[in-house]
Amino acid sequence: MWPGDSVLGRNVGKLPTGPTPGMASEGGAVLSVDQVSKSYGTTRALSDVRFSVGPGEIVGLLGPNGAGKSTAMKLIVGLLRPDAGEIRLRGRNVVTDGVEAKRTVGYVPESPALYEFLTAAEYLDFISDLYGVDPATRGSRISEFLRGLELSGHEDSLISAYSQGMKQKVALIAALLHHPRLLVLDEPLNALDPRAARVVKDLLRDLASRDGVGVLFSTHVLEIAEAICDRVVILSHGRIVAQGTIAELRRQAGLAGSGLEAIFLALTGTGDLTDVVGALRR
Ligand SMILES: Nc1ncnc2c1ncn2[C@@H]1O[C@H](COP(=O)(O)OP(=O)(O)OP(=O)(O)O)[C@@H](O)[C@H]1O
Ligand SMILES: [Mg+2]
């Protein structure tokens, strides 16, 4: 616990969010995805996908299972190459200028694979080395994150002995250490308990509003998207079926006064679930 914390209301200002080097020069989008397509063999995972994330913007990437969210994220961080189209991180092409582009991004995959034979302290030190995090300040930065996410006291245990949520927290800290300008988070709150989920939500808001970090995150929990996203992008079968603020999507779906769930179900073609639920009950 941090001094002055209440049970859920976190003072995220105590987490090491900034200042971030290079922010003054920030102008255009931190991420632009332009007409990107990707297939796995004969499976078309993404078709002509186009969206951007501006500095300080939190964008939710939503869509049913298999819609292409994780594929889009792997393309954005350079783990996969697009078949067509272009992805730029702060103007740098992620394929042709990969090393520089990757310096600017922090990524938490759907199922983070950590080096489990290391302790969390060793792992985070190793990641700091990879990204050239200043050795003079990294120790206190790592300690603050560990404390904020209630991992203090566990940092010298092997990651193999961590619970799923604890591993998720280590992956998140690893993604933040080098002051990324863009965070790409694939269902980052999945395994987290309510307190940790709240800390992370507050932290994302703080990083976006105070430090101008762009955030792209996927989630199936529409309440979370509704609560923290400036905009959402909805994918279905690899295509963008809608993007905009919740208010814009409401208008687009002709569902005045509706929540994101109704909009999502209408736009992804799963609006009438009565038959599905009936079939499942039989
Ligand atoms: N490595 C792979 N090899 C072959 N097909 C793949 C591979 N990864 C994903 N796919 C296919 O690509 C499509 C998009 O998958 P993706 O994992 O991007 O979806 P998603 O939106 O992240 O789904 P979820 O909500 O379940 O995480 C699916 O049809 C999936 O079967
Ligand atoms: Mg996925």
The predicted pLDDT at position 252 comes to: 77
| pLDDT band (50, 70, 90) for residue 178 | very high
Give the C-alpha separation, 239 to 235, whole Å.
Answer: 5
Q: For atom 12 of ligand 1, which residue has the closest CA?
A: 45
* Residue to mutate (ligand 1; options 43, 110, 236; most atoms within 8 A of CB): 43
Q: Which residues contact 241 (CB under 8 A, 6 or more apart)?
A: 234, 235, 267, 268
Q: What is the mean pLDDT of residues 149-162?
A: 93
Q: Which CATH class is domain 12-242?
A: alpha beta
DSSP E strand stretches across 54-143:
58-62, 84-89, 92-93, 105-108
Ligand 2 center–CA 163 separation, angstroms: 21
**pLDDT digits 0-9 by tens, 16-34:** 655 444 333 345 899 999 9
* pLDDT above 60 (res 3): no
Give the C-alpha separation, 1 to 146, whole Å.
Answer: 11
Whole-structure pTM value? 0.88
The predicted pLDDT at position 117 comes to: 95
Q: Is 90 in the pocket of ligand 1 (CB under 6 A)?
A: no
**pLDDT digits 0-9 by tens, 36-49:** 999 999 999 999 99
Instruction: Read off φ and ψ for residue 58, nearest 5 degrees.
Output: -110, 115
Element (H, E) at 161: none
Q: Which residues contact 39 (CB under 8 A, 6 or more apart)?
A: 45, 83
34 forms beta bridges with 86
Residue 263 one-letter amino acid: I
**pLDDT digits 0-9 by tens, 85-135:** 999 999 999 999 988 888 899 999 998 889 999 999 999 999 999 999 999
Give the C-alpha separation, 12 to 203, whole Å.
Answer: 6
Half-sphere CA count of 163, side-chain side, radius 13 A: 9
188 token code pair: 């980052």
Q: Mean pLDDT check: name the lowest of 1-5, 131-135, 150-154.
A: 1-5
* pLDDT above 80 (res 282): no
Q: Is 71 in the pocket of ligand 1 (CB under 6 A)?
A: yes
* Residue to mutate (ligand 1; options 70, 77, 237; most atoms within 8 A of CB): 70
| pLDDT band (50, 70, 90) for residue 266 | confident
For the chain, the domains span 12-242, 245-282
Q: Is 111 in the pocket of ligand 1 (CB under 6 A)?
A: no
Q: For atom 26 of ligand 1, which residue has the closest CA?
A: 65
**Nearest one of 125, 46, 117 to 87, comparing CA atoms:** 46
Taken as a whole, the chain contains a residue count of 282
Question: Nearest ligand to the C-alpha of residue 69?
Answer: 1
Q: Is 67 in the pocket of ligand 1 (CB under 6 A)?
A: yes
Half-sphere CA count of 123, side-chain side, radius 13 A: 24
Give the C-alpha separation, 3 to 19, whole Å.
Answer: 22
> What mean pLDDT value characterizes the chain?
86
